[in-house]
Amino acid sequence: MKSINKKETQKLLHSPLFWDTNASHIDTDRNARFIIERVISRGTLNDWKTLLAFYGNDKVRKEVLSIRFLDPKTLCYLSVFFDIEESNFRCCS
């Protein structure tokens, strides 16, 4: 998967997904779980691709395991995508 530059990431952070936050105050490292959770729960396929290109599969995988709530469809998708048993997700324990 291709990597993306900071400009493309800022475009994602200024999208309607983050309507309730000031994008200039979002730190992509410190707020990674927040960004990942918002994109997987409300984003488009293009947002998902941008997220994976920016953080990489390993970082996204690590963070989704710690999310407290995932809707059933998203949980199933992430379980299949990352080949992780659903019971390993925090939201299922």
Give the pLDDT confidence of 62-87 residue by residue, as tens digits: 999 999 999 999 999 999 999 999 99
Task: State the pTM of this model.
Answer: 0.84
Q: Is residue 71 part of a domain?
A: yes
Q: Is residue 1 part of a domain?
A: no
Phi–psi pair at 3, nearest 5 degrees? -90, 160
Q: What is the pLDDT of residue 5?
A: 61
Please give the tally of structural domains in the chain: 1
Q: Is residue 59 part of a domain?
A: yes
Q: Is residue 14 part of a domain?
A: yes
CA dist list (Å): 45 to 25, 87, 90, 92? 25, 25, 24, 24
Give 28's pLDDT tier (boundaries 50, 70, 90). Answer: confident
Q: Is residue 70 part of a domain?
A: yes
Q: What is the pLDDT of residue 13?
A: 76
Range of the domain at 53: 6-92
Nearest-10 Cα torsion for 53, 54, 58, 60: -100
Closest CA to 39 of 66, 23, 60: 60
